[in-house]
Structure formats: structure tokens, C-alpha cells
């Protein structure tokens, strides 16, 4: 019988574990605590017509929105500059308890990691149901991701031109949004910064936009009933093969959150089945770091 999972359990780290466990982190092991940092969402760029109107009035165009956010930052020892990862959580947020493992694994591989928290400063519990989506929608979180990139670019130990974005579930949807070419025009970006590569674990592909303009790895489970694998296959077919490399990996017999060990045995969450799959998780770990090596270290 499929057993339900309580909302309290979800908010204690389920989806937020995705990147951590997908990256083979030993969640909860002793590790130097990541630094809690604050940064701002990227300033939304005004449309060209708005800018022109303000110039005609003798006004300097201003930014529209700049929400204050927090995140967790960890780095390898040394001065760098190091390649970096911006990690985007799923619809249940980013509990501090799971940050340790994700940081440990990234740092041990020589990466700086910034786990961006889109919910806490906005007093959001979760955005896992339709009535909650608008609290922090994909566009809002796209600006959050670029705010994290701008923050990393100001750190002397980060190579601002070797930064990847990675997200799971709803965070994976944001990742695909960030990977679109148009996304770098959504915010004030005087240095023309952008992400070098993107990793999306079981994202919702049913409403994706344009083809990613940076190398992108998409990893899904064949039996996922929350973010169906077939939607991602259709998206790739619509995008075609012209352009930067996009790789879709589909694991037979795998469900949503197949890399999250807490879902062993599987259980229900918000009406969807989540279940850990050791074989898929192990292969995903290997592919993720091979992908990062290819596009951040070469």
C-alpha cells in the first residue's frame, strides 16, 4: 500500500535533498558549516520602450525589483578562482539541515557552491500546489538565480565565467528558464554574465520555453507522475538538434525524486508518488560530475 508523507516531513528536506543526494553527498556528515549569506535578486531590466520614455524625460532608467534573498555559500580551501554551482531548490524550499551534504560534495570536487533560498525571506512555506505557485513563480526565481550568479561574480575566489546552474523539480524548471538565451536580457547585466552549463533533475517540461542556449543535462524518471518524462522527450523533439548540446537521460522504472534516499520505501507527496532508486541515483551522480567536468573544467 502506498503510504502518505506528511507535509512536515516534506519541509524537513525531501525535495531540497535532490541536488545534495544526486551529487552523492553524505547528508548530515560532519563538515565545516557553509556560510549564510545575503544577496539580492537580479534587477529586472525595463523594456526598451520604457527605457526610451524615461530617457526622453531626462530620467535615468531604474531597476524595477530587487528582492532580498539568502543562501548558503561553501568553497574549497585556497584563493581560487574556482568554478562554481548555483543550486536551486524544489517546491518545498531549502532547509538548512540538508545544506551541509550538498556543500561537502561540491567542495570536495573543487567547486564553490551557492544554494539559493528563494522562500525564507519571502515568508513562503512551499509552492507545491497551484494555489501557491504565484508566491515565487518561475520568472521570479529566474531573477533569483541570476542574482546568485551576480553575487558569485563579486567573490574573488570564483571564476565568474565558469558557473553552472543546477536544480531539481521546480528548481529544474527554473534551470531550464535560465538556460534560455533570452533570460540574460531579463535583468540589468552590464558585464554580460551568464551561466556556462545547466543541470535539471526531473523538471516539469510541459511548459518549457525556447531551446536552451547553453549545454544542458536533463535527468528524469520514466515513471514520474509529477513531472512526466514524456514531456521532456517532446520538448527535446520540438527543440531539434541545432545548437548547443542537450542531453536527456531517462531511467526506466524510476519515479520522481529517484535520487532522494528518504523516499525508501516510496510514498505519496501532494498526490504524487516519490521513490528512491539506487541504480538511477548512482548513475545520475556519475553523469552530473562528468558533465560538470566537461563544461566547467575544460
Burial class (CB in 10 A: 0-12, 13-18, 19+), 57: exposed
Q: Is the preceding peptide bond at 265 cis, omega within 30 degrees of 0?
A: yes
pTM of the model: 0.83
3-state SS class at 295: helix
For residue 129, the Cα-to-chain-centroid distance in whole angstroms is: 19
C-alpha cell at 289: 560530475
Superfamily of domain 3-296: Alpha/Beta hydrolase fold, catalytic domain (3.40.50.1820)
Q: Write out the chain's pLDDT in tens, 298 residues.
A: 333 333 333 333 333 444 443 433 334 333 457 899 999 999 887 664 444 444 454 544 454 557 899 999 999 999 989 999 999 999 888 866 568 878 888 999 999 999 999 988 898 888 988 888 888 889 999 999 999 999 999 999 999 999 999 999 999 999 999 999 888 888 888 788 999 999 999 999 988 889 999 999 999 999 999 999 999 999 999 999 999 999 999 999 999 999 888 888 999 989 999 999 999 999 998 999 999 999 998 6
Amino acid at each position: 500500500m502506498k503510504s502518505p508523507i506528511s507535509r512536515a516531513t516534506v519541509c524537513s528536506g525531501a525535495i531540497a535533498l535532490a541536488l545534495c543526494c544526486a551529487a552523492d553527498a553524505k547528508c548530515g556528515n560532519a563538515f565545516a558549516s557553509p556560510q549564510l549569506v545575503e544577496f539580492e535578486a537580479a534587477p529586472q531590466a525595463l523594456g526598451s520602450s520604457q527605457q526610451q520614455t524615461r530617457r526622453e524625460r531626462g530620467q535615468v532608467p531604474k531597476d524595477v525589483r530587487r528582492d532580498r534573498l539568502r543562501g548558503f555559500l561553501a568553497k574549497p580551501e585556497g584563493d581560487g578562482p574556482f568554478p562554481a554551482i548555483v543550486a536551486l531548490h524544489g517546491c518545498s524550499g531549502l532547509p538548512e539541515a540538508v545544506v551541509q551534504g550538498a556543500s561537502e560534495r561540491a567542495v570536495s570536487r573543487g567547486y564553490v557552491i551557492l544554494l539559493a533560498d528563494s522562500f525564507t525571506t519571502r515568508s513562503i512555506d512551499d509552492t507545491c500546489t497551484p494555489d501557491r505557485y504565484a508566491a515565487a513563480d518561475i520568472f521570479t526565481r529566474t531573477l533569483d538565480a541570476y542574482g546568485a550568479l551576480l553575487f558569485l561574480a563579486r567573490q574573488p575566489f570564483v571564476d565568474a565565467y565558469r558557473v553552472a546552474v543546477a536544480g531539481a523539480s521546480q528548481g529544474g524548471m527554473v534551470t531550464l528558464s535560465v538556460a534560455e538565451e533570452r533570460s540574460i536580457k531579463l535583468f540589468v547585466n552590464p558585464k554580460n554574465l551568464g551561466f556556462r552549463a545547466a543541470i535539471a533533475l526531473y523538471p516539469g517540461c510541459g511548459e518549457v520555453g525556447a531551446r536552451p542556449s547553453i549545454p544542458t543535462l536533463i535527468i528524469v524518471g520514466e515513471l514520474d507522475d509529477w513531472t512526466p518524462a514524456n514531456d521532456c522527450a517532446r520538448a527535446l523533439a520540438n527543440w531539434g538538434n541545432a545548437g548547443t548540446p542537450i542531453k536527456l537521460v531517462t531511467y526506466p522504472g524510476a519515479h520522481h525524486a529517484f535520487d532522494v534516499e528518504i523516499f525508501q520505501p516510496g510514498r505519496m507527496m501532494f498526490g504524487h508518488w516519490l521513490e528512491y532508486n539506487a541504480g538511477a541515483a548512482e548513475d545520475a551522480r556519475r553523469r552530473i560530475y562528468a558533465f560538470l567536468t566537461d563544461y566547467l573544467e575544460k
